[in-house]
Amino acid sequence: MSPQKLNDTGNSTATMPASRHNQYVIGVDIGGTNLRIALADTTGAILRMHNVSTVGIHDANLVVSLICKGVDELFRQTQLPRNQLCAIAAGAPGVTNVDDGIVIATSYLMGWRDVPLRAMLESSLGVPAAIDNDVNMAAFAESRVGAASTTRDFVFLAIGTGVGAGIILDGRLFRGMNWTAGEVGYMLVPGIPVAAVPSGEPGGLEHLVGGEGIKSQWQRRWAVAATSLPKELNATQIFEHALAGDSLAQSVLDQAAETLSYAIYNIYLILNCPLFVLGGGVGTHIALYDAVVRKIQDRDPRTGLKLIRSSLGTDAQLIGAVRVAIALAETIEIAAAATQRVFTVSE
């Protein structure tokens, strides 16, 4: 499949008003533990946000219900007319068929399979909807208003609970033949068994670099004689203790940085992208970022590879969803105007 244009939001069967004057969009970031919803105007300015936990919720119908309740709440809080909503876009943590609006498979946190999310959103909210992988949404945001807005070729690496990539080539999102481009969490890396990973389970790279993987590495190595720190620490806490000088935390950080540097360097050799953007709660931590930069420079000081941290932080996915919703609204408005011109001429 050829690269998809950044404003390619898929076909929509819902209708919307012909003009976007005084209208609004909704962006949604569907996470395995948290659902975030943003109400924005058509310039991209976020007016208000709504968060709700999704822990223990796996039914897509329940998630859509939470989205609808969140949308209603946002319009109630802002005292804006609900009928001025003109489009919605949602990012899901998994493989997503943008053309058909189907979430093919999500991460092990949610376990979705072949969920017609776009149709569900359009039916429930009565406005056009677009969906995509959440990391692609973040890459879209970085390309429009973030750290990569001045380049046409870059890779966005989201490192949070798991690991994923959004790939921009010649200014376009590249999603791959089966929509799985960027599923780098499943890369084979040193120190991980090469046996096939069961569907829905964390991949090899995620085992060493993802937030849950780093936490597991810490717990596996933990011993009273090795550290005075507690066994229950998350990835960013481990990084903080590494900066403070704990030797076990430094060892776990070093392994994660080494493995991530391998992955970045290999992707760089294949795609020859000059820029990599680290995002996500784990990926943007200064300890990991600095360690990876040093390792890449040590490996090849002459490389033209540039590594930077996301300028949008953990809001990149949500901002991307807002921008995709705006692009969808613009696309439909242009199509409606063209149809009106044809109709006028034929009269």
Which residue, chain included where needed, has tokens 């998809």? Answer: 4
The predicted-structure confidence for 39-72, as pLDDT tens digits, reads as follows 999 999 999 999 999 988 989 999 999 999 999 9
Nearest-angstrom CA–CA distance, 70 and 91: 16
Q: Which amino acid is at 129?
A: A
Closest CA to 319 of 23, 87, 31, 29: 29
Nearest-angstrom CA–CA distance, 108 and 106: 7
Q: What is the pLDDT at residue 190? A: 82
Low-confidence stretches of the chain (pLDDT beneath 50): 1-19
Nearest-angstrom CA–CA distance, 36 and 53: 9
Q: Could you tell me if residue 99 is left (phi over 0), alpha (psi between -120 and 50 degrees) or otherwise beta?
A: alpha
Joined together, the tokens standing for residue 267 give: 């992707």
Joined together, the tokens standing for residue 248 give: 């076990």
Walk me through the domains of the chain, giving residue ranges and CATH numbers.
Answer: 4-135 (3.30.420.40), 147-311 (3.30.420.40)
* 169 within 8 A of 175, measured Cβ to Cβ: no
**H or E, element range at 304:** none
Q: What is the pLDDT at residue 106? A: 86
Q: What is the pLDDT at residue 199? A: 63
Q: What is the pLDDT at residue 10? A: 37
34-41 and 46-53 as β-strands: parallel, antiparallel, unpaired? antiparallel
Which residue, chain included where needed, has tokens 């849950």? Answer: 212
Give exposure, 327-345, as e/b (b: 16+ Cβ within 10 Å): bbbbbbbeeeeeeeeeeee
**H or E, element range at 186:** none
* 284 within 8 A of 309, measured Cβ to Cβ: yes
φ, ψ dihedrals at 134, nearest 5°: -65, -35
The predicted-structure confidence for 319-328, as pLDDT tens digits, reads as follows 999 999 999 9
